[in-house]
Amino acid sequence: MTSVAVVTGASSGIGAATVRRLAAEGFHVLAAARRTDRLADLVREVDANGGAATAVGCDVTSDESVAHLAAAAAAAPGPVTLLVNNAGGARGLDPVETGAIGDWQWMYDVNVLGTLRVTQALLPALISSGAGTIVVVSSTAGFTVYEGGGGYAAAKHAQTAVAGTLRLELCGRPVRVVEIDPGMVRTEEFSLVRFDGDADRADAVYAGVSEPLVADDVADCVAWCATRPQHVNVDRLVVRPLAQAAQHKVHRAG
């Protein structure tokens, strides 16, 4: 039977790229996100390229919506063997001293509790498949702090803690837990969301960096981890562009 993969945050960026890549690897992909119009376009693209995908409207901050995703997974044409917890994001670049509580709350709910909700909902199916994999797309902010990034780093540190704890708790059961931590990735929306649509501030993040990572680079990492033999668990994969030696060390031309 065809293996089923579930990808959250699938309407753009890393999520959409991961749907395309996993479909090319032979998975039937449940593409889950809030913006169902974008998902419909993505599914049509996947189908046109010979893959198989199904759009599922899902808000990872809603228990009811995640329950709907679990029901869709139960009705999928095969066992659910892969969950990619990709939904997440950042808001603001304010210091802790003046950080907006609402922004911090949103980042925690989407990045951490969203991962928790979806994982809890789909874990029984992943276990019963006999060969499950959970991929948590976190960030290098999950282990390194930086000025102005307190809220995002706190959320990603927590997401990292969830992944590590889950791996310990699932030891002895047939589910791998993989954490992927990208550094600088240029996607169409991440920085725009962070800066509330301010394109100039968003572009400044990548100024002078000729080749930041792109969504396809991270999707390639997800697919590689997910397609290793089942006894191989890639605990943590850290991926950055060549120009970024560390969180605080980026080569910028000029």
Task: Please write the tens of the pLDDT for every residue from 49-88.
Answer: 999 999 999 999 999 999 999 999 999 999 999 999 999 9
Cα 171 from Cα 163, distance rounded (Å): 12
What is the amino acid identity at position 41?
D
Cα 34 from Cα 213, distance rounded (Å): 25
User: Distance from CA of residue 159 to its chain's centroid?
Assistant: 11
Residue reference for tokens 């959320």:
155
Cα 184 from Cα 48, distance rounded (Å): 31
Task: Please write the tens of the pLDDT for every residue from 79-110.
Answer: 999 999 999 999 999 999 999 999 999 999 99
pTM of the model: 0.95
Long-range contacts from 168-174, C-beta under 8 angstroms, 24+ separation: 173/127, 174/127, 174/129, 174/130, 174/131, 174/132, 174/230
Task: Please write the tens of the pLDDT for every residue from 154-178.
Answer: 999 999 999 999 999 999 999 999 9
Phi and psi, residue 60, nearest 5°:
-70, -10
At 179 the three-state DSSP class reads: strand
Q: Which residues does the annotation mark as catalytic?
A: 152
Q: Residue 49 is encoded by which pair of tokens?
A: 């390229």
